[in-house]
């Protein structure tokens, strides 16, 4: 199936994870947290046609790695995917809010100038600000990863045209499940956020995205095959769009 947001390079044995993803024919979006990590991470999957490596600068690292924006721009034409990027409004990162904003805005502008990119976006405690920025630069295709905003913010995200990647950890919470119920079925993709995402205290691997499929099947009152077909159609619809 698919995992549209995981950190392949941060597993303890990334080569094993890549090989198993290949064996199971998984479509994987391997996100990075800094531009310097992109090249090495992309090499992990250089022979894997179903694994794509996204170029990112995580908002929690923006204040430490903003100097890598020049490298980000230099690498941008080598990939269609950008992530993990975004904003983080958590208390420990709020002191660096202005730097986060500058980095996020730069990435959005650069991605648009490069012809538009598929974005995997972090919006913890910052959904309103993220949506403000996306609404000003609409030449990209945004995927809101593990969305945790309000129902009103979700409605706004839908109006902007966002996709949503949901995983076992999100769907196992009451709030996350409730938000997923309100998301347009044709805009939903699945993820794990492994190795950070966990389910029942166990770290998630890309193949564990099937847990999300089972939860969505129950939510949508469909069987597993029908649910997989919808998710596959959503993925193909996303990647076939001309930005």
Q: Which residues contact 229 (CB under 8 A, 6 or more apart)?
A: none
d(CA 31, CA 44): 12
> CA angle, 150 as apex, 167 and 55 as ends, to 5°?
50
List all residues 6 or more positions away from 145 whose beta carbon is below 8 Å from its beta carbon: 4, 5, 83, 84, 86, 120, 121, 122, 123, 165, 191, 193
Annotated binding site for a divalent metal cation: 5, 7, 84, 122, 145, 193
Residues with Cβ < 8 Å from 242, sequence gap 6 or more? Answer: none
Cis omega (within 30 of 0) on the bond before 106?
no
Dist CA 234 CA 138 (whole Å): 20
Model pLDDT, residue 138: 86
Q: Which CATH number fits domain 2-239: 3.40.50.300, 3.10.290.20, 1.10.540.10, 3.20.20.140?
A: 3.20.20.140
Domain boundaries, the chain: 2-239
Q: According to the model, what pLDDT value does residue 241 have? A: 87
Contact 105, 130 (CB under 8 A): no
Residues of the chain short of pLDDT 50, as ranges, are none
**Residue length, the chain?**
243
Instruction: Give first-to-last CA distance, the chain, whole Å.
Output: 24
Q: Is the dihedral of CA 138, 140, 152, 102 positive or negative?
A: negative
Structure tokens at 222: 């469909």
Looking at the chain, which runs of residues are DSSP E strands?
Answer: 2-6, 27-30, 51-53, 81-86, 118-122, 141-145, 163-166, 188-190, 198-199, 202-203
What residues does 28 pair with on adjacent strands?
Answer: 3, 51
d(CA 54, CA 118): 9
- pLDDT at site 243: 62
Residue numbers in the known binding site are 5, 7, 84, 122, 145, 193
| Rounded distance between C-alpha atoms, residue 51 and residue 65, angstroms | 26
Please, which residues have CB within 8 angstroms of residue 136's CB and are 6 or more apart in sequence?
A: none
């Amino acid at each position: 199936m698919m995992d549209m947001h995981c950190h392949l390079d941060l597993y303890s044995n990334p080569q094993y994870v890549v090989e198993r993803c290949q064996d199971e024919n998984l479509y994987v979006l391997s996100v990075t947290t800094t531009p310097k990590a992109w090249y090495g991470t992309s090499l992990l999957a250089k022979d894997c046609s179903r694994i794509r490596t996204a170029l990112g600068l995580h908002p929690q690292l923006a204040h430490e790695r903003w100097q890598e924006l020049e490298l980000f721009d230099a690498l941008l034409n080598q990939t269609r995917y950008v992530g993990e990027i975004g904003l983080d409004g958590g208390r420990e990162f709020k002191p660096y809010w202005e730097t986060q904003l500058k980095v996020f805005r730069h990435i959005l502008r650069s991605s648009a100038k490069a012809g538009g990119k598929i974005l995997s976006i972090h919006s913890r405690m910052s959904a309103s600000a993220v949506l403000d920025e996306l609404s000003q630069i609409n030449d990209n295709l945004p995927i809101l990863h593990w969305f945790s905003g309000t129902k009103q913010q979700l409605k706004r995200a839908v109006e902007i045209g966002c996709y949503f990647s949901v995983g076992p950890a999100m769907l196992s919470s009451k709030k996350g499940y409730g938000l997923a119920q309100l998301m347009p079925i044709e805009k939903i993709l699945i993820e794990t956020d492994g190795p950070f995402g966990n389910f029942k205290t166990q770290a998630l691997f890309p193949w564990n995205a099937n847990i999300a499929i089972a939860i969505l099947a129950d939510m949508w009152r469909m069987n597993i095959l029908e649910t997989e077909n919808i998710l596959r159609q959503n993925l193909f619809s996303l990647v076939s769009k001309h930005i």
